[in-house]
Structure formats: C-alpha cells, structure tokens
Chains A and B, each alone.
Chain A
Amino acid sequence: TQLLEQSPQFLSIQEGENLTVYCNSSSVFSSLQWYRQEPGEGPVLLVTVVTGGEVKKLKRLTFQFGDARKDSSLHITAAQPGDTGLYLCAGAYSGGSNYKLTFGKGTLLTVNP
C-alpha cells in the first residue's frame, strides 16, 4: 500500500497569516489533486496537477507539484475564516491503476477571526 503523508495534521492560525501544507510520498505520482472538505459534506476538488514543477494559482491559494512528482504543497496567503476546513491531497501513482486515487489523512485548518 502506497502512503501519502500530509503535514501538519492540525493548523490553527489567525486571519491574515500565511500557511503552507505539505503532501509527500516515496513514490512517483502521475497526477495529484487537492480537495477541501467542510463538516458534514464531501470533499470538493480545488486543483489537479500533472506536470513536475507545475504551479497553479486559485485566488489566494498556490499549489506546487514537485519536480520529481513525489511531493506537493498548498500555500494560502492572507488566510480568511472562510478557508477553514479539512484539506486533502490525493494521488494517482505512476504505473498504478488509473482508477485508484490514494488520499492523505488531511490537514485540518482553522482560521480564527
């Protein structure tokens, strides 16, 4: 079973602060996705990265895929209370099934007003 490690597991910050969440594996991904999940709801896709070194921006969120496609990061600038939620990374492994997505355990972010 391939593992996808996310850190930190919990993060509590004040409104306006910046933060970075990390997603790491010893295996190579063919693609990696980031999801956000709110209480009582299913995860919602934020972004998909496919190319090593790729950087994608979604308003105040910046996603980076490592050059070797083994890691990814999510950076939030000037966090707001509306950013509160569980952030999950999910990867499809290179050479594996195209139909199996492995999820990390998530980072629970709380942004305090």
Chain B
Amino acid sequence: NAGVTQTPKFQVLKTGQSMTLQCAQDMNHEYMSWYRQDPGMGLRLIHYSVGAGITDQGEVPNGYNVSRSTTEDFPLRLLSAAPSQTSVYFCASSMGSLPGQLFFGSGTQLSVL
C-alpha cells in the first residue's frame, strides 16, 4: 500500500539552484496539493490541483511552480531556491473536494543555504 510517495526525503540546495520535489499517488485521487510546514506557522497551502491539467494557487505560491500532466503525479518545482524556502514540504491527495480525507506523504526536508 504505497499511498502518497514523496522523493527525496532530504535535500540541501544552494541559493539560486533549482530542483523538483516529486509526488506520486496510486489511489486514483483527483485532488492533489502541496503544503509547507514551518515551526510556529503550521501547514500552509502552496498549490493544488483538482485533476490532470488543472492547477491553482494556494496561500503561499510565490517561488514555486506546479503542473499536473497525469492523475498520479504532481511535482513541485523551485526555479531559483532562496533561504526562505527552507522548510518541510508535504504532498497530500484526496478523492474529491473537501471535506474528504487528505492523505499525506512523509515529507521532504529542504534546506537552502
């Protein structure tokens, strides 16, 4: 039972570098989302998608890009990493619109130096 799979688990970047955080789910969920979790700030929504080809911005979208070419995959791209993007990133999926259960991946811990 894979559920939501995130890779990598840990990543260290230098300021200005780019990278893609991968997220895949095998539950045929239409809804997928990215959150970042920072101490004292809780979980904040970055981007979300309600189906292949459809994406929208969340609360903190600046500095991040997403695309949804398939139902299974929802990668998060950092085009030019900044220290302010140091955080733990979580991908989550749900069968449909809220209040459906969100299934979370185990997270990616990203440090930008």
- Chain A residues in the interface with B (C-beta under 8 A): 1, 30-33, 35, 40-45, 48, 50, 88, 90, 92, 98-106
Contacts and interface: CB of A to CB of B under 8 A. Distances in A.
A25 to B, nearest CB: 13
Interface of B: 4, 31, 33, 35, 40-45, 48, 50, 56, 58-59, 90, 92, 97-99, 101-102, 104-107
A3 B44 CA distance: 11
A100 B58 contact: yes
Nearest to B98: A92
Nearest to A48: B99
Contact of B48 (A30, A40, A100): A100
Nearest to B42: A105
28 contacts: A30-B99, A31-B98, A31-B99, A32-B99, A33-B99, A33-B101, A42-B4, A42-B90, A42-B104, A42-B105, A43-B43, A43-B102, A43-B104, A45-B102, A48-B99, A88-B42, A90-B102, A92-B98, A99-B31, A99-B48, A99-B56, A100-B45, A101-B102, A102-B45, A103-B35, A103-B42, A103-B44, A105-B40
